[in-house]
Structure 1
Amino acid sequence: MSIAEPTAAPVVYPSGDGQPMAETGLHVQAIILLHQALEDFFRSRSEPVYLASDQFWYWREGDPTCRVAPDVMVVPGVAPHPRRSFFSWEEGGAVPAVVFEMASQDTWRNDLDDKYDQYESLGVREYFVFDPEGLYLVPPVQGYRLSGTAYRRIRQDQLTSELGFGVRPEGTMLRLVDLATGQPIPTRAEAVDAAQQQVEAEKERAEAEKQRAEVEKQRGDTLQAEVERLRARLQQLGHLNGSDG
């Protein structure tokens, strides 16, 4: 009687580590605003782009320790449907083209050391580190791009991505700029405010047009009344002339 070979236990890839999304609420907000700006920037692009924030990226099948959870990552060419984790081997070997980390008191050294080395060795094309508090990095935004297999610092006056956007600090927010138009990508709140202002401006224009139309009507009515008065006066003068004849 043959003895069945023991079945290997399936590899478990956790989708979370029980840790908070970021060190402070300020850092969480910076991550959310950046993620939304990237969504809005890529929305009109034809190529699929997968965006994720604080999500595990596993790059080696069978080894759940080979993982990292970037604050924000951008993976072009990958369908944007939701995932619990990102597995490179399930996506044709895809790796993020751009990774962002929000530096904090507890992370900034690691962001510029171990994570820097890790993203470099994994082939992440561009790596940006942003310090929302402006306390740990000088300057507060630093960018790196692969040259061969090694990162090189992106000049401060050229903090752009090969994906078509630029980045610049605005207080505690990392602002995205569309390089094609030179225009900053508004936050969702700014977009709502702009839409409301446009609605109010349209209302004001409509009210001004209504008032102008009313003034024109009053002017027309006045002119019509004056014409009628003059016509009546002419008729009266005609009658008087006829009587005199």
Structure 2
Amino acid sequence: MVVSINEPQTEIEYPDEDGKPMAEGDAQCEYLIYARTSLRVYFQQRSDVYIAGNLFIYYEQGNPEAVVAPDTFVVFGVNSDNRRSYKTWEEGDKTPDFVLEITSKSTRSNDQGAKKGIYAFLGVREYFQYDPTDDYLVPQLQGLRLEEGNYYPIPASVVAGDVISIHSDTLGLDLHVNSSGELRFYDPATGQKLLAHEEFNEALQQSEQALREAEERANQEAAARQEMAARLAEMEARLRELQGDTP
């Protein structure tokens, strides 16, 4: 007689982190945070857009080795809730639509090779690379668009004399790099740039200060009008007194 013994299945672990630093240096970290936070603010009214950075994407169920961690990625058509990792089979097989890598000479081979191949395999529609320290990428900002399984360069233009601009059809935004090498997203409909966290706080403080100054001016003007009205009332009263004294 053959006895069948069902051995307990070992649960597959999908780690949330690898213990490595989020970015190699201040420049990489600064722009990683900028891209993630500014895009989250821009799309904050949409509950069907998920934006993350330096988060593991697992793209093959049962194989924790099938993983990639873009510096910033955007997925349309899934909820915007925070996640510890992104497992495509739990997301209706939705993969990122947009990826931005903050690249450098030390990550060049991975960003240009393995990751590029994985993103094409996953169907990432647009793959952007930005080299903040001007290590090797010329120009510092480059965009690729997926067509029939292969990536082709997205044309760049020069605006305002020296600003490199590339339009992302996927995001509906322009990516600009100025002569100082600073990356910013711009809304082409308004011409306004998406602010970094500190820029947003500074703009908020300036707005609050302007509001306080306007309220103070309004209060001063109201007080001046009240004082003028009191003086006029006093003059009218004095005039009536004088008229009463006239025979």
User: Is TM-score (shorter-chain normalized) higher than 0.5?
Assistant: yes
Q: Deviations over 1:51-85 (max 9, x none)?
A: 22111111112222211111111111112223222
Would you say the 8 A contact 1:51–1:72 is kept in 2? yes
Match of 1:25, as an amino acid? D
Match of 1:95, as an amino acid? T
Aligned residue number for residue 169 of structure 2: 161
**If the length of structure 1 is used for normalisation, what is the TM-score?**
0.87
| Partner Cα separation in structure 2 for residue 3 and residue 228 of structure 1 | 112
Aligned residue number for residue 210 of structure 2: 201
Within 5 Å, which residues of 2 pair with 1:160-179? 160-169=168-177, 171=180, 173-179=182-188
Would you say the 8 A contact 1:26–1:172 is kept in 2? no
Aligned residue number for residue 190 of structure 1: 199
Would you say the 8 A contact 1:100–1:129 is kept in 2? yes
| Partner Cα separation in structure 2 for residue 52 and residue 216 of structure 1 | 55
Match of 1:22, as an amino acid? A
Unpaired runs of 5+ in structure 2?
158-165
| Partner SS, residue 167 of structure 1 | strand
| Partner SS, residue 21 of structure 1 | coil
Match of 1:98, as an amino acid? F
**If the length of structure 2 is used for normalisation, what is the TM-score?**
0.86
| Larger RCO (CA under 8 A, 6+ residues apart) | 1
| Partner Cα separation in structure 2 for residue 27 and residue 172 of structure 1 | 12
Within 5 Å, which residues of 2 pair with 1:1-245? 1=1, 2-4=3-5, 6-7=7-8, 9-45=10-46, 47-157=47-157, 158-169=166-177, 171=180, 173-238=182-247
| Partner SS, residue 113 of structure 1 | helix
Figure out how many residues of one structure are paired with residues of the other and give that number. 237
Distance 1:227 1:10, change over 3 A: closer
Displacement, 1:216? Answer: 2.2
Would you say the 8 A contact 1:95–1:124 is kept in 2? yes
Would you say the 8 A contact 2:98–2:170 is kept in 1? no
| Partner Cα separation in structure 1 for residue 92 and residue 224 of structure 2 | 69
Unpaired runs of 5+ in structure 1?
239-245
Distance 1:176 1:5, change over 3 A: same
Match of 2:31, as an amino acid? A
Aligned-pair identity (%)? 36
- Indicate the RMSD between aligned Cα atoms, in angstroms: 2.1
Would you say the 8 A contact 2:131–2:141 is kept in 1? yes
| Partner Cα separation in structure 2 for residue 15 and residue 218 of structure 1 | 67
| Partner SS, residue 159 of structure 1 | strand
Give the greater-gyration-radius structure (CA): 1
Task: Indicate the larger mover: 120-129 or 82-91.
Answer: 82-91
